[in-house]
Each structure stands twice: as structure tokens, then as C-alpha cells.
A and B are shown apart, each in its own frame.
Chain A
Amino acid sequence: MGAQPTPGGLLLEAEGLGLERGGRQLFSGIDLRVGQGDLVQIEGANGAGKTSLLRILAGLSRYGFSGAVSRHAPQLFLGHHSAVKGLLTPRENLAWHIAGEAEFSADEIDQALAAVGLYGYEDVPSHALSAGQHRRVNLARLYLSRAPLWLLDEPFTAIDRSGVADLEARLALHLAGGGSVLLTSHQLVAVPHPLLRLDLATGLLQ
């Protein structure tokens, strides 16, 4: 991480990724090149290995797969778990986040929380919030982070309809600004931007 994008604008490259779990070949021969402004949706049935692939691309899984990944840009990974501490308020959760980015200013944090519909909840202990609101605290990081590449695992889970629309608008803005998004989702992503689909069963990118 911390590296600059390559001259061609490539943020992430993967070659010949394959994964076997419990004697079953989940996927194989996945080639992926994510450049600036690319939106890639990883598709597959339950258990097809979407999350596993995302974790390999993020660098959380380092062993047990074949192929190679090279990362050319800082990335923001939002996984299944919300990484929100119940004992901290949403504001503290964002201010003391442990993903290693520089400190966000109080204004930035308040604006991000307002953008995900948590205005008025800034100083409520997070354990008093609902599961959907936990997800929203986590999604507020999308408004704070300056990372060009986003890896999002099921970002629409537990989010209500207006939240989904807000999130899609945020994705569109990020893509328009030259950022890239790689996400897993079962639902259609309504973003006015060319969408590449990666089918895990066939390994084809369309």
C-alpha cells in the first residue's frame, strides 16, 4: 500500500487466481485488472467464493490460494463485519478508526455521519444503535477515505432503500472522480456508470 498507480492507471492486478476449499475448487483462472474509474461487480451464487476472492485481493488472505495479486494503490476494505465498537460513539468510531489513515477533522466526521443519515446520533453509544445504523457508521468511511480503490463486501446488506440510493450516489461520485470500486452484491447496482461483471463460475469479465 501507499504505492502510486502505474502509468496506465492500474490500481490492482490479479493473475490466475484460484482457490480450493475443503477439496472443492471454488474458482480458478481469475484474471483481473482494475484501472481508474472501473466499477467491477463480483458475481456468484452463495458459497461461490466472492468474499474469499475479495479478501485475497485486499491482502487479508495470504496463503492457500494460487495466482498473484499486485496492489498499486491504497485501498479501503469494508468487510462483512461493521468494525464498529459498541462502547464508542459513532464519532469516536470514525475518529479512532484503526485503518491507518490520517486523522479526520471533526467537521469531516460530522458531515460524513450526516451524509449516512446519522445526524443527531453522533454521540450516542454505538451499542444503542441498530444493526443497520452500525452498517451506516461503517459506510460513513466512504465519505472520509481518500483511498482510490474501494473493496466492498455486500455493501447494501441491512441498508434501507433510501440508504441504498445514497450509497449508489456516493459510488457514482467516487467513480466520476477517477476512483475504482470492486464490490460483491446479489442485487443490481444502479449506478450510472459502465459496470464490469466478474462471473466466478466462468472467470469471465464482461
Chain B
Amino acid sequence: MRVAGSAAFCARLLRRQLVLGLRRPVEIGNPLLFFAMVIALFPLGLGPAPDTLAAFAPGILWIVALLSNLLTSEGVFRSDFEDGSLEQLLLAPQPLYLSVLAYVLAQWLLTGFLLGLLSPLFALMLGLETGAIPALASSLLLGTAVLSLVGGIGAALTVGLRRGGMLISLLILPFYMPVLIFGSGAVQAALAGAPAGPYLALLGAMLCLAVALAPFAIAAGLRISVDA
């Protein structure tokens, strides 16, 4: 039997996942729409005074980004589990670590990456100082990647459950906290005129740790879910 090389196989998985995602544009649009709607609600709730909004903006933007990630991370493996594709993936001779990484990368490109790119727009809606926008975008790009990896663990563990949504939140929300703290910290530092670099470096370190460890946990979670 000819076996695909690991890199070629990952590229195939990535392409497949991206095409699947792009054929359901609603699923890509929903988290962004959710983000935009919630951001639009804050001026109504907090009052439209630009000073108040700008002061809360880093926290608001980061919390909404986290919640929108929580909404989407549940579904990464769901359809593949239901139609039997996941069984085939687990039986594939390629290392599951890399396959899982390709899945999460595709999910991140369609959610966190887009969110990071569009975040300057949302930041302007809240009157965030333009000087803090680079810190916001880069912290979101790094942070959402960590969130997607951690969220993948929860998704893998709950993929076999009918209503895993609440459980996944309970499972992974604690692991989201450090990302939230340092992510919004980076933006607040930039607002205060301090360098955001150290915060971004910490987020980068978390990303390295998550890339190294999360795929193992996701792979194990998938094996357990398919075995059950």
C-alpha cells in the first residue's frame, strides 16, 4: 500500500477542512457577527461616552473574542465524528499529532485569524486609541491560536456527547483565563504607553506550550471518544 507522507497528508487535511469551512460561509460569519453584535451592544449598555468605552475596550474586546471562540471550538470534530470520517483518521498510519494540528490550524484560520484581522474595525467601534490597535491585533492572533488548541481538547473529549456545549465550557474555561489576562494586559499596557512586548512574549510562550502538548491531549481525547 502506498502511504501518504505526513506533510502531504497534513496539507490534504488542511485543504479539506478549509474547503469544508468555506462551503458553509454561515459558520465562518456567525462568530464574527456575534462579535460585532456584542461590541455594538456595549455602547448602549455602558453609555456612549468615548472615555468610558475606551477604558473598557481592551477587556470587552478580549472577553467577546474568548466567548466567540468558545462558540466555535465545540464543532471542530463533530461532523467527522458523526459521519465516520474520524474513525478513518484514527486508523490512518500518519501520526495523529500532526493530523490534529492540521484540524486545529484550519479551525483557527477560519475563526481566530479572521477575528484578529478584523479586530481593528471593532476596536474603532469602541473608540480604542489607534496606538493600541497593533497590540490588540497581535495579541488576538497569538491568543486565539492558544484558545483554539485548548478548545480542541474539550471538543475531542465531548465529541461523543449529545449536549457537550456546557460541559466543554466548564472543562476548558479555566485554561482560557491566563490567555485572557495576558491578552487584555497587552492592550492595556499599550494604552498606558508601556511596551506590550512582554505580554505578547508570554502569549507566544503559551502558544509554544499549547502547540507542543495540546495535540497529544486532543489525539487521546479523540481515541477515547471513538472507543466509547
Contact = CB atoms under 8 A, between A and B. Distances in A.
Interface of A: 1-2, 58-64, 74-75, 77, 79-88, 92, 96-103, 145-148
Interface stretch (B85-93, B120-128, B154-162, B175-183): B85-93
A123 B46 CA distance: 52
B84 A100 contact: no
Interface string B22-56: 01100000000000000000000000000000000
B87 A2 contact: no
Interface of B: 1-4, 8-9, 12-13, 15-16, 19-20, 23-24, 79-80, 82-85, 87-94, 99, 223, 226-227
A75 B87 CA distance: 13
**Per DSSP, are chain B's interface residues mostly helix, strand or loop, or mixed?**
helix
Contact of B3 (A85, A86, A88, A102): A102
Contact of A82 (B16, B83, B93): B83
Given A74-B1, A74-B3, A103-B4, A60 B90 contact: yes
Contacts of B24: 87
A5 B116 CA distance: 51
A11 to B, nearest CB: 12
B94 A100 contact: yes
B93 A96 contact: no
Contacts of A103: 4, 8, 12
B162 to A, nearest CB: 17
A94 to B, nearest CB: 12
A98 B227 contact: no
A146 B3 CA distance: 10
A4 to B, nearest CB: 11
A97 B83 CA distance: 13
17 contacts: A60-B87, A60-B226, A64-B227, A75-B91, A81-B82, A82-B84, A83-B85, A87-B19, A87-B23, A99-B92, A100-B3, A100-B9, A100-B92, A101-B4, A103-B4, A145-B1, A147-B1
